[in-house]
Amino acid sequence: MIKNIIFDFDGVLVDSEMLVAKSFSKYLANRNINFTEKDFAIYAGKKTVQIIDELSNKFDIPNKKEFFEDIMDIANNIYSQELVPIIGAKEFITKNNYNFFIGSNSVKKRILFGLKKVKFDKFFDENNIFSFDMVKEPKPHPDVYLAAIKLHNLNKEETLIIEDSSVGVKAGAAAGVKVVGLTAGGHWHSERPTKELLDAGAYIVVSSYKSLLEKILNL
């Protein structure tokens, strides 16, 4: 029986992946580079510095430090104004009595701000929030999930990880925990194949929190 749920943050609890995509699209458009929000899908789940490194090489942008600083300014402005929860997330959290945790490739400060912004902060004890700046290696390495499991002595058989990206699914699977892929975020447009999550190691893929609850009850 599932007792513990570890959520990824971006794209699972808050609909932020499209905001990040919007930031990159805006930055690159100002440099006459066509990069749509749909194009960003393959980068979802990665650390911002990794995305900047890859896009700098792809589009021949020489100053990665300036690229990073500009993106953070744009992203933070959009994030603080437009961040909303994933549809169904609040109802799921408020109506179920699982032990809730977060394991994210974001930094803890940003997660705490985001939780407060969407009024989820009361549902997550700060000690139950694990971020990449707390561990040695980010996803797809399992470090952030293993840290949560170790600190709270979680039984892996009673634990479920909820992820929205192949990077995150790989991390959860590497931690030895069953992973459910969730495609409820705005970055999961109709043309994006969910097969990528299954190929990464997801046990199942669901499109909504309602479906998630139904599946959990049958695990």
Question: In terms of residue numbers, what domain contains 51?
Answer: 17-82
Judge contact between 8 and 168, C-beta under 8 A.
yes
Contact 77, 103 (CB under 8 A): no
CA dihedral 46, 85, 209, 181 (to 10 degrees): 0
Same domain? For 126 and 192 the reply is yes
CA distances from residue 137 to 11, 52, 83, 94, 174 in whole angstroms, order as listed: 20, 18, 27, 32, 13
The confidence score (pLDDT) of residue 43 equals: 86
Q: What is the pLDDT of residues 132-180, one digit of tens each?
A: 999 999 999 999 999 999 999 999 999 999 999 999 999 999 999 999 9
Q: CATH number for the domain including 167?
A: 3.40.50.1000
> Are 191 and 135 within one domain?
yes
Q: Is pTM beyond 0.75 here?
A: yes
Considering the domain architecture, whether residues 152 and 197 belong to the same structural domain is answered as yes
Average pLDDT, 10 consecutive residues per value, the chain (219 residues): 96 92 92 89 83 94 93 91 96 96 95 97 97 95 98 98 96 98 90 93 96 88
Do 194 and 145 lie in a common domain? yes
Question: Are residues 91 and 46 part of one domain?
Answer: no
Q: What is the rounded CA–CA span in Å between residue 114 and residue 98?
A: 21
Same domain, 77 and 155: no
